[in-house]
Structure 1
Amino acid sequence: MTMEQLVLAGAPELPDGWFYRVREVYDVGFKVEIRERTRFASRKMAERYVLEHGFDDMRTAVVDACCRAHRSVTAEAEMREKFRALSAFLGDHDGRRRG
């Protein structure tokens, strides 16, 4: 199955250079990873297990795992952006001192 087929089935589109990887985890089941290509390999951005017991159609189960992994990546990016915005407030804020 290609990325385009996953997206057509309902998985979120990923930014350029990112891709989904479905892996079998020994004695556990399957998981979906969102990965970002690097110069020589790739790095894992998020992962979620496929919950096959909750679905009759395994394509839907994989798409569900893709969606959950995407929500995780999005939430982490939003949190990083909030921390970046908070850095503007670093330092002392003493109203008694006039500079």
Structure 2
Amino acid sequence: MSMADLVRAGAPELPEGYFYRVRSTNIRSLKVEIREQRRFRSRLVADTWVFERPDESAEESIVKACDRAFKGWQEADAVRASYLAVTAYLGDHDPKGGR
């Protein structure tokens, strides 16, 4: 299954340079990862467990996990952006206006 197939099934589309990886774990479960492609390797940016339910198809379970991973990634980016905005105020603030 390609990323285009996942997106057609309802998974969020990722920006250029990012991809989904569905992998098996040691505890007989699946994980969905969002990874950033680098020159030689890829870097994990978000992941979540796949919850398999008897009333859902495998595709639905994977798409829901892709959606959760994407939302978690976006929330983490918002927190990071907020932190970077606050760091502009780091340092001493001279009450006389500085010299």
- The verdict on a shared fold, with TM-score over 0.5 as the criterion, is yes
Q: How many residues align?
A: 98
Describe the SS at the equivalent of 1:4: helix
Normalising by structure 2, we get a TM-score of 0.89
Match of 2:35 in 1: 35
Runs of 4+ in 1 over 4 A off after TM superposition: none
C-alpha change, 1:55 and 1:71, in structure 2 (3 Å) is farther
Q: Normalized against structure 1, the TM-score is what?
A: 0.89
1:83 maps to what in 2?
83
Q: Is the Cα–Cα contact under 8 Å of residues 54 and 61 in structure 1 kept in the other structure?
A: no
- Please state whether the residue corresponding to 1:53 is helix, strand or coil: coil
Structure 1: runs of 5 or more not aligned: none
Instruction: State, as a whole percentage, how many aligned pairs show the same letter.
Output: 45
Q: Which residue of 1 aligns with 2:57?
A: 57
CA distance in 1, matches of 2:61, 2:32: 10
